[in-house]
Amino acid sequence: MSGGRALIAASILDADLSNLANAVRRLGTAGADRIHLDVMDGHFVPNLTFGAKTIKHLRKRTDLPLDAHLMISEPGRYLDEYLDAGCDSITFHVEVEEEIAPILERIRAAGRAAGLSLRPTTPLAALEPYRQLLDIVMVMAVEPGFGGQTFMHDVARQKLLPARDLLSHKVYGGEIHVDGGVNRETAEFVGALGVDVLVVGSALFTKGRDLGREIRLIRALADEGYQYALNGGEPPIPRDRMVTFTSLPKHLARALMEEIEAGGIPVVMLRGDGAMNPDGVRDYDLLVPATVEAVVIERHRHTRQGYLRAAETWRETFVRERGVIAPPSHP
């Protein structure tokens, strides 16, 4: 985990294609957050790269999440192969002629994140009919097909902030990706437009550059852009930071955890620093991602009070009926 807000998905399109195992290994060491896999069929785009079989082999070579970006004419026809290859997310193009919704549904049914990408000339409105099925919106800032092209500022400016509205149904886990032309020069600009995932290809594989330094630099610039443009000068909250929402006896903590998770927000239940109970077991802490702390408080403030009262009653009843059990002494 990077610790920053923005994530870097490294595209291996411009790596040495005869040695991809080495490329993903180096990216892992260098601190990339994801691997972005550009699949091209020579038909949807005038270029040919690799397919599901290559991805299946790469899956064994890295623990990083794999984002597939399918620039192919018939994603539905070949989808099962990409699911089987172990992709964590699959994004395809809204311009394809197949029916879109069933493909998104199949990706989600397989437990992967589903995304739609769009060419620079396709309006964002094209995604509107599918918004409820989307986990990822991938905005292309170059014409798909090749790495190393020039970033289109106007396209990014027009689409990136409004793209967020398309994911308003996802409080947690929805992602805007920007793909094409992202480098040191453009990272701050896209960060300021609230992008979650920056796809970076040729900037990482330019001869003479240090991979790790480049990744850290681009991520930091994106976070800085976000901080000044969207977060009123407050540093962006790192993705992996968790905060304690409340502490409760185990059975009550579990029940509240399930209520929160039902709303699409992950909870970590930890036997942490909670207060000691009369049964000799500490309260469990419920941790939620700091990025959605405000949402959790807004939604569950009242239920939390109810649970805390239930905990009081449970403690009093326990003491009345059985007294206080001495906590186990630890060396």
Active-site positions read: 38, 179
Q: Which of residues 132-191 bind ligand DX5 (CB under 6 A)?
A: 142, 144-145, 147-149, 179-182
Q: Give the Cα separation of 258 and 150 in Å (integer).
A: 47
Q: Binding of ligand DX5 at residue 127 (CB under 6 A)?
A: no
Handedness of CA 60, 65, 70, 74 (dihedral sign): positive
Kindly report the number of other CB atoms within 10 A of residue 296's CB atom.
22
Query: Binding pattern to ligand DX5, positions 191-210, x when CB under 6 A?
Result: --------xxxxx-------
Residue 87 interacting with ligand DX5 (CB under 6 A): no
Of positions 2, 4, 10, 11, contacts ligand DX5 by CB under 6 A: 11
Non-local (6+) Cβ contacts of 49 within 8 A are 13, 17, 38, 39, 40
The interface partner of residue 142, options being ligand DX5, Zn ion, none and the CB cut-off 5 to 8 Å by kind, is: ligand DX5
Residue 235 backbone dihedrals phi, psi, to 5 degrees: -60, 140
Name the residue with the smallest CB distance to Zn ion.
69
Q: Rank residues 77 and 184 by Cβ distance to ligand DX5 and give the closer one.
A: 184
Distance CA 277, CA 163 (A): 48
**Residue in the block written with tokens 């995932």:** 197
What gap in Å lies between CA 218 and CA 224, rounded to an integer? 10
Does 33 engage in binding with ligand DX5 (CB under 6 A)? Answer: no
Which C-beta is closer to ligand DX5: that of 26 or that of 250?
Answer: 26
Task: Count CB atoms within 10 A of the CB of residue 264.
Answer: 14
Q: Which of 33, 38, 175, 188 binds ligand DX5 (CB under 6 A)?
A: 38
Which residues contribute to the site for ligand DX5 (CB under 6 A)? 11, 13-14, 36, 38, 69, 142, 144-145, 147-149, 179-182, 199-203
Which residues contribute to the site for Zn ion (CB under 5 A)? 38, 69, 179
